[in-house]
A and B are shown apart, each in its own frame.
Chain A
Amino acid sequence: MSQNMLSYRKSYYLYISLALILISYFIYRSQAGIEGSNGGTPQGYFLGTLATVLVVWLALLGIRKRSFQSRLGSVKAWVSAHVYLGSSLIVVASFHSAFQLGINIHSFAFLLLLLVIFSGFYGVFAYIRYPAKIVALSDGRSGEESLALLNSLKEEIVATYKDLDSELQMTVSSAIERTDIAGSILDMLLARDGSMMCRTVVGTRVDVVSNRAQQPLIDIVAQRIPRANRATEPELLLSLLNLLTRRQQLVENLRVNLQLKARMRVWLFIHTPISIALLVALTIHIVSVFFYW
């Protein structure tokens, strides 16, 4: 069984993190001075320093990932430690704050920290769960191979419908042309299908209508089969239906594939910028505490 970031070295860094949490707990509980539990006690300062060092070290993963010549441990080890030690920060930082929150930069830094960590949790989930799903969806094909298959299906469809009536030709060709697998970023994330097609609505008048999941098109073709005029038409329609159904499945797989890839990436749009914001907030937190000592 291959190791992922959680099971790396038998979850070695999980135990490091648990030990860190335990030590932090005892340090937190040892606060019995006149202030009680507080970020300003010696223990509070120690926990704050520990949390700061952890935050800075966690942020360094971005540099380590790009330093291919680095000998400071493998990237796998860094990522595993990043996940576990980053998770322990929830506890360490909470103990540092002594659960005293308010509307100020200090609590805001804590909020940013939580956002970074929880967005990271989603990242861990995505990186562990989605690759296997993507492989299962692609059915052993690469993306390019899937596209090539899609293109060959299109050619087959065109070859099939050229002997059908022009109205159906127009509908099918417009549906193929207006097939969507990735619209906006939100469409990608939600696997939202904006596919459209031109369809005769009244008489000879044509309108642009939805072709979500390609099902309306398939329905039109299917409804045409009983009304076929010529002897060869049913066979052509059945053949077309078969091709459109295969295409429907392939398009859907591509769309979900793109959705999973987008989900694997989108969390970084929160994780990375907020990590930088956190570093700034953390600096302001430290400076302001000693500025107004």
Chain B
Amino acid sequence: MIFLIRHRNTATGKVQDVKMSAPMIALGSDLDQHLYIPSPHIHGRHALIKMSSGKASVKGLGWNKILVNGQAVYRKVLQVNDEVKLGDQTIKVLAAPEGFDFACEMTLDPVQRTTTLAESWQREVKPRIWTPRRLAYFSAVTLFVIAFWLPYTAYLSGSSSMNEQPWIDLITAIGHTQNQSWRADSLWSPGPLLAAHRNAIGNDCSTCHTQAFEPVSDTACANCHSQSDQHFDHQFFADSALHSSLGESGLNSLLTPASTALNDMGNAISSMPRCESCHKEHNEPQSIIATTDILCTQCHEDSISGSDGVVTQIATAFNELEHPQFRYSFLTALKDIEPEVQSPELVAAWRRITQTDLSIAVENSHLKFSHEIHLQLDEPALDCSSCHILDVGNEHFVAINMQDHCAECHALEFNEREIPHGDPALAIRSIEEYFIALYLTPGRVNDTLPRRLPGRLVRRCEGSDYECAVQKAEQEIQLQFGTSGCVTCHQVNAVENSASEGEAGWSGLSQSWHVEPVRINSDWYSNARFDHAAHLTQAGQSQRELCRGCHEAESSSLSTDVLIPKNETCFGCHSDSSENDKIAVDCVNCHLHHTPRTSSAMLDYN
């Protein structure tokens, strides 16, 4: 399309013709338009003039209407002398000269053209729609809707009490749509939920946050944790009231078994902490178990007298100055400390007691044993692990017993006959039975007579075969229990005034000796925990060397020696901080949380 544009200067009357060639003529306020119309009322690309079937027509772009001869139209076929008005600009259609498809005349107003630059100069960063004020309103409203209203609807949809309100139906309908994988009130979550909680309750905040503007209640915790073991000495802390510093109100449901606690909720002890006092959620790093020492030291900065009379000493840190001496936990036969007990059950019972002075600590297990002798043997060469096998949990060792740990070397035999271990009466009967059978078997008595030694007489039994058998058995029992057998390892006492006749026709020898029952203490720090496996990993040291680092077994000749390390041993490597190349430990690395001190926990029946 070849077209002629005639510019007529209204001031000078001068005419200038411009010949252009393009598929169509573009009109607008953009500078690249064929017909540039500098007007704020005209769009950058406002209209087009194009030829179709030899006729020129004008067409507004988008919703733009064009005035043609005073008539507003979207599209119109142009005739000669038609006047197209765009803003203040008038375009008159001329008869196209020879060689042109279209011709028009534009009037140029020099004054108007001059003001264009002046207008540009006055231009500021001032958007037509998104002014700062509107942006502020928009962002504020958007934020309110997304970050407050939607989460609030999610809360309402999760709150059973609110669901009863009929007016809330619409809101809950919106809230329910958020129930699946994501809920809007998760935007209010201040931090990640513990994985265990997230898996259990998903995104339902109202599981724990049952009441708005109220801290998470213990009841909410107990709803799921009703079967949790109690891990808090209710009586002890109720009496000491020391945990008032941890919380202001509410009864911790876990102070007692949860179901009981729920019933007692009305009788809340104001000084008790809440679950949330110690178990913090939405925190980073994620941990529902508080391990920081402050939880312990804020109470243990003073000595504490518990309801059971045990005084807990001051402990504010794990170092020589701020941590009290360890205290062994002993198993002691109840009759040794309470001679007045008469009940057979209590006479046989052992009690765990605390030894505060470690320098005089001796173990009274009723066993005779020398670590020194055993560790000096060449054949068989024994090591610590020959007898001490780490049990599940890596803290304690499998209990020592005769069959598994001693019998291989210390077989209980006489005349190639094994004596049963563990039941003195049975052992005595076994010996007695042997001799009775021997003596009452015809033709075999002489075989059993000892060979006469030169110059000595063979003493013969003058009584009946049975009496001789019993007499012989008594000699052997005396030998086994009183001289070289059981008494080697056990505390054995002869029973005076034992019955002359035993049960079912037995001789009564079975009641003539008493072997003190053996209880080897396996838990010296019963309120502490220790990982042997973690301490047996030092490179370049044999296992015996590693064990010897803490346990002085090689120089221990008595079973009363206590080989359990004291504070100093631990302080050699550990401290409450990692300074001076020490390995830092928290209180809970070694200490169990306060466990209930019930009678069953304190008495350990045989």
Contacts and interface: CB of A to CB of B under 8 A. Distances in A.
Contacts of A11: none
Interface string A261-289: 11001101100111111011100100111
A108 B146 CA distance: 12
A291 B212 contact: yes
Interface residues of A, number: 70
Q: 7 tightest A-B contacts by CB?
A: A273-B135, A276-B136, A288-B188, A277-B139, A273-B136, A34-B290, A196-B31
Interface stretch (B14-22, B49-57, B470-478): B14-22
Interface in A163-215: 166, 169-170, 173-174, 177-182, 185, 188-189, 194-196, 198, 204-208
A227 B58 CA distance: 41
Given A174-B18, A291-B209, 15 more contacts: A34-B290, A34-B294, A36-B292, A103-B187, A181-B117, A185-B127, A254-B121, A258-B120, A262-B125, A281-B143, A287-B148, A289-B188, A290-B213, A291-B188, A292-B189
A169 B16 contact: yes
Given A34-B280, A170-B16, A181-B117, A265 B188 contact: no
Interface in A218-268: 254, 258, 261-262, 265-266, 268
A126 to B, nearest CB: 12
Interface of B: 2, 16, 18-22, 31-34, 36, 38, 113-114, 116-118, 120-121, 123-125, 127, 130, 132, 135-140, 143-144, 147-148, 151, 155, 185-192, 205, 209, 212-216, 278, 280, 283-284, 290, 292, 294-295
Contacts of B186: 104
Interface of A: 32-36, 38-40, 98, 100, 102-106, 108, 143, 146-147, 150-151, 154, 166, 169-170, 173-174, 177-182, 185, 188-189, 194-196, 198, 204-208, 254, 258, 261-262, 265-266, 268-269, 272-277, 279-281, 284, 287-293
Given A34-B290, A182-B120, A196-B32, A280 B140 contact: yes
A150 B113 CA distance: 13
B139 A273 contact: yes
Contact of A292 (B33, B143, B209): B209
B135 A284 contact: no
What is the interface of chain A mostly: helix, strand, loop, or mixed?
Answer: helix
A177 B120 contact: no
B120 A180 contact: yes
A292 B191 CA distance: 12
A205 B31 contact: no
Nearest to A197: B31
Contacts of B185: 292
B298 to A, nearest CB: 9
Contacts of B292: 32-34, 36
Given A178-B36, A198-B18, A265 B144 contact: no
A277 B140 contact: yes
B121 A143 contact: yes
B151 A272 contact: no
Contact of B132 (A98, A104, A272): A272
23 contacts: A34-B290, A34-B294, A38-B280, A38-B283, A39-B190, A102-B189, A104-B186, A104-B188, A105-B151, A170-B16, A177-B36, A182-B121, A195-B31, A198-B20, A206-B18, A207-B20, A268-B132, A269-B130, A276-B139, A279-B140, A280-B139, A291-B209, A292-B212
